[in-house]
Structure 1
């Protein structure tokens, strides 16, 4: 017996996907998260009767790194800088998250000024060493850090992206003088121009190294004690996984672990259904994460952060997060307009209909008033009180706007849908993609409640609801390969760039990639390398990435691909303008064998609805609507809305007239445009 287990630990629940390799049958589970996330994880394994000796792959998405940055529960760390540059991460870019709020300050740096020490050294912009590292000064810095008992050190020297020799020597001295303390160098983590971004990423990586190292060591030991004999795989922001060795070295990559899993799963599900272009809508209780995949590939960004002002420049799947969820509060602003979120009722007290003391109306209360949610959530563990929901909507919205309670509930959801539609437009239309060319994958606990309405708003023709929407993010952890992203600056006019010189730079990156894969234990035949080049029009400082072949021939093809990419992204191109190469990128992928998911067959016979109830849909009087249990819908079934489909982890709303089918993987596919 071989089991593949994926675990996604969130703030409220820990989600499990358990795949039987022999049968392709997958089962899912949820357990409450605990203060020590490892305890909650093992409680779930025990609940499901998992013998770790039967597990062939254990993949894990975690918010441990993200939460450590948000809560600032970080070990004491230090930063060693070139003399005169200790305040780069405090000066930042001198910008603000809200330009017009003069009173809101940016959060302080992760390393305070007293722990940012300097040494004498200097490298110029061409990489020439002007002043070698002052070794006496370096050893004095090491003595101070040893006395302060710091848990990690970030080394950030000016222009080290061009020549990291001084950083490497400083690291060697620290490893000699302060043994056992993890040391991170900027030339190893992010060998790129722009010192603030490079320093900030290095600092994040350093302060997270002890957190991630301790966590992965503890989890790995407990898995081994239970009988698991393979590598623990950890999902990182770029959409791949790392072993514990890679995670300790590049801990900052786990800062976006949680949000990447849902984006990967939605892309896979859409591809499985025959849609290479897809938009993922992961709507939970408090927030909504929106992602996009085009031609089967997720969009990647390097412009992201956990706290504004402190960028993390590791490649990350682009995910846009807004405050829209089942618990988002409906409220009236000072001008008398109806708003929705980002404030949330959270899990405690939760929406008014939970009966735990919440009084403000939420999206969940609006769905209860409209009959879309009725008896309870989570298989009946959370009971819903329609009278409390109605009272909250009436008191908070209906009476203040002169509406009846059903009109008010519908208005609440329209505002929520409008907020999410704006987020989808930002990640699609503003990037040069037409939503009408995409399928919408709606998941999370609340995504399937809003999928059809959102698709109508954006003219998206197809909505896909996975078999287990509430644990889809955990599924993403089963679908990934070991992945490392490397890059080097290569600033050169494209017109006279030497392909041989470019090949030499790629060869250096490939040697580093092979070394990392060797440490990860990946077989040579399972490694694939993907090249890309970042390019820009001369005078720009923002770049676009285009794929590069192996070997790189003439740069003319790269330039033409850049023009086409720029036209799609910004709706114009300048064929007469000179183009510069900016950065060379290499993605090394270690293929992890994938188990096949079971395909189902059925006669397509629709089951009898287990109940009928009045449901209010947009702009209609109440409609008698059939309610089905998700587990009773067979593959091949076809029907038209209105319908409600209920299951343990989510509820799907199918609007009147919407043609719906159940595919061979038991996805619900709604053809909203039909």
Structure 2
């Protein structure tokens, strides 16, 4: 805290290429980017915090709060470099995580290869005990069998143990009994049980989720402990919190226990950032576009709330094809992610077509233009060659880009094989990556029944403002907002997130036999669990509660989410549940099925502290059209040639200033490209409103 009482809060996001740090001192924001340190990722945060504190003129000891998000858990799953893990499951269910759902994500591929399970078959063990779907014990655990199982597992020298027994979402007593037996013999053993990690039906998803939690738990515990120690040694003495996949803040202790909740923490921060901007501008339909060094993420935000889901996939093996990855059953902000970042590597395939991603040059060695040993052409190299980036002053002046190296990489790998000049090949890279992103956005919108022409795009991340204008042209979107600090948008989003946690549970209730007492018991348990997580970080918070029941007609395979009140229910309240389901179902599918009963399969309850304030700003029209003396040759996609573009520093533009494209607006962490058909107007909160010319 400063001498005059202003809070100092820091958000830190570790990405695949850069580690972004944002520091808020009162109402003033300072930011920095440093290259991600793969060997010691915590060092990148310490370096970034030191750099941004120096910019802000504050001591590290004055920082009040640090909020952190990371993709390290996700990367550990993708790269299969987690702990050696054993799975203990029910007899007869040993092969569930290998059999999966038996769906074919590539229907006509006769040589299809399914992703290998995290736990090999010889490291999966079974217990001959059984609980039914209602939670009734059919066969108790035999003490001698359990003792022998514990002895076998401990003799295997495993670093972490996952326990997933059939129907434990209805009754977790057997899982707890097995955990207690293991910890009685080895108290420091890392153990995860599915009734706490993901108490939801569908055993493959639940077993896979608890295996993923166990697999990354020792790694994340070690990393978070080192991070806390490194920050303390550097001079901070403030609490550190984590952002989780659902968009809320939890304590480090909770994150260490349930690291699977962190898998989408970085992208979640970006969606929160976009939702905050949407609320300030009163926008009801927003397409959030986050492009960093490794991936691009797209999220639909309706009524200033990001769309959420209770399952998602990581580590897809077929170019991000749905069904080819590991399903994780935890609450998450729903978004589509593709391998299209600034560091995505371009190549020419056997059909002489340009392909971009999903592999990335990352930060080590990085794109060819970084001059750090990379020799493969990337999107950043193409942006440099097309005049979108300036070689000097990259990443806030911490790097000078090597244009000859970029030219050499593109010439060798693309323009040479294709028989074109370097500029044409670079243009091809950018068009391919922009088309990949626009296709992903269209697909995501269609799957949600939306028309993107009605949306406003909000772009952030180091590479997004470079490509957002062209993406809007491809998608038919008329308006684009580029917020202040867009280059570190996810880190700023961490500072806008509430303390929040979403508890999930499967509890089957049929409306034809509605049991109000059971509903109330489920809601009570969910409320207690969710609010305890919130109060672990914000003890004085009075959490806001939001509950969703996942419902379907009897006999259907999948559920629809229905918002329900958090209160005590009576028997005649069944009508409210039925009406809520029918309203949502008819909106989605156009008609009801009158002859079928309705069932509730599972529940989720979100508890969150008070939202960060987002005062409304009014739309500002152009009051002054500016001309600049600085010019640069930039490739214009629609004209397919180089044109003379105006260059202006963003901090030199004032409220109401307007610049017509083609133009390049520079700032420390990113660059915004205004195409020939667009203009940009500075808004009251510092956002750039990019729109089609009148």
TM-score (norm 1): 0.90
Q: CA offsets per residue over residues 613-670 of structure 1, 9 Å max, x none?
A: 3333233364432110122112232233221111222111112242321112211111
2:75 counterpart of 1:67: yes
Distance 2:117 2:355 in 1: 34
Paired residue for 1:53, among 57, 61, 64? 61
Residues 427-436 or 90-99, more deviating: 90-99
Q: Give the aligned partner of residue 574 of structure 1.
A: 592
Distance 1:672 1:566 in 2: 38
Q: How far 1:240 sits from its partner (Å)?
A: 1.0
Contact 1:59 1:235 in 2 (8 A): yes
Distance 2:59 2:372 in 1: 38
Contact 1:660 1:668 in 2 (8 A): yes
Equivalence map 1:397-546=2 (5 Å): 409-518=426-535, 520=536, 522-523=538-539, 525-546=541-562
Equivalence map 1:247-262=2 (5 Å): 247-262=255-270
Equivalence map 1:127-526=2 (5 Å): 127-224=135-232, 228-307=236-315, 308-347=324-363, 351=367, 362-376=378-392, 377-379=394-396, 381-384=398-401, 409-518=426-535, 520=536, 522-523=538-539, 525-526=541-542
Q: How far 1:417 sits from its partner (Å)?
A: 1.9
Equivalence map 1:525-674=2 (5 Å): 525-551=541-567, 554-569=573-588, 571-576=589-594, 578=596, 579-591=598-610, 609-620=628-639, 622-672=642-692, 674=694
Residues 446-455 or 607-616, more deviating: 607-616
Distance 2:83 2:426 in 1: 47
Distance 1:53 1:233 in 2: 17
Q: Kindly tell me: are residues 464 and 600 of structure 1, through their superposed partners in 2, closer, same or farther at Cα, counting changes over 3 Å?
A: closer
Q: Tell me the SS of whatever aligns to 1:504.
A: helix
Distance 1:224 1:599 in 2: 43
Residues 374-383 or 655-664, more deviating: 374-383
TM-score (norm 2): 0.87
Q: Kindly tell me: are residues 460 and 561 of structure 1, through their superposed partners in 2, closer, same or farther at Cα, counting changes over 3 Å?
A: farther
Q: Give the aligned partner of residue 9 of structure 2.
A: 4
Gaps of 5+ in 1: none
Q: Kindly tell me: are residues 603 and 534 of structure 1, through their superposed partners in 2, closer, same or farther at Cα, counting changes over 3 Å?
A: closer
Distance 2:255 2:426 in 1: 46
Q: Kindly tell me: are residues 390 and 125 of structure 1, through their superposed partners in 2, closer, same or farther at Cα, counting changes over 3 Å?
A: closer
Q: Kindly tell me: are residues 89 and 564 of structure 1, through their superposed partners in 2, closer, same or farther at Cα, counting changes over 3 Å?
A: same
Q: CA offsets per residue over residues 1-50 of structure 1, 9 Å max, x none?
A: 131011112233221100002xx000001223221122222222333345
Q: Kindly tell me: are residues 596 and 461 of structure 1, through their superposed partners in 2, closer, same or farther at Cα, counting changes over 3 Å?
A: closer
Distance 2:614 2:42 in 1: 26
Q: Kindly tell me: are residues 327 and 210 of structure 1, through their superposed partners in 2, closer, same or farther at Cα, counting changes over 3 Å?
A: closer
Distance 1:52 1:227 in 2: 6
Contact 2:663 2:673 in 1 (8 A): yes
Contact 2:83 2:159 in 1 (8 A): yes
Q: CA offsets per residue over residues 313-371 of structure 1, 9 Å max, x none?
A: 01111121112233444544444444444355555665555567777654444444443
Distance 1:486 1:122 in 2: 25
Contact 1:152 1:183 in 2 (8 A): yes
Distance 1:505 1:488 in 2: 8
Q: Kindly tell me: are residues 41 and 355 of structure 1, through their superposed partners in 2, closer, same or farther at Cα, counting changes over 3 Å?
A: closer
Q: Kindly tell me: are residues 85 and 398 of structure 1, through their superposed partners in 2, closer, same or farther at Cα, counting changes over 3 Å?
A: closer
Distance 1:55 1:353 in 2: 35
Q: CA offsets per residue over residues 253-295 of structure 1, 9 Å max, x none?
A: 1122222222222222232233232111112233211112111
Q: Kindly tell me: are residues 637 and 157 of structure 1, through their superposed partners in 2, closer, same or farther at Cα, counting changes over 3 Å?
A: same
Q: Tell me the SS of whatever aligns to 1:191.
A: coil
Contact 1:606 1:634 in 2 (8 A): no
Q: How far 1:174 sits from its partner (Å)?
A: 2.3
Gaps of 5+ in 2: 316-323
Contact 2:18 2:293 in 1 (8 A): no
Q: Tell me the SS of whatever aligns to 1:371.
A: coil
Q: How far 1:440 sits from its partner (Å)?
A: 0.7
Distance 1:155 1:602 in 2: 59
Contact 2:22 2:29 in 1 (8 A): yes
Q: Tell me the SS of whatever aligns to 2:656.
A: coil
Q: Kindly tell me: are residues 148 and 359 of structure 1, through their superposed partners in 2, closer, same or farther at Cα, counting changes over 3 Å?
A: closer
Q: Kindly tell me: are residues 625 and 572 of structure 1, through their superposed partners in 2, closer, same or farther at Cα, counting changes over 3 Å?
A: same
Distance 2:417 2:79 in 1: 38
Q: CA offsets per residue over residues 196-239 of structure 1, 9 Å max, x none?
A: 11111111122222222233233334445556454321111111
2:133 counterpart of 1:125: yes
Contact 1:605 1:634 in 2 (8 A): no
Distance 1:511 1:426 in 2: 38
Q: Kindly tell me: are residues 340 and 83 of structure 1, through their superposed partners in 2, closer, same or farther at Cα, counting changes over 3 Å?
A: closer
Paired residue for 1:90, among 62, 74, 98? 98
Distance 1:381 1:508 in 2: 51
Residues 160-169 or 338-347, more deviating: 338-347
Contact 1:235 1:477 in 2 (8 A): yes
Contact 1:139 1:177 in 2 (8 A): no
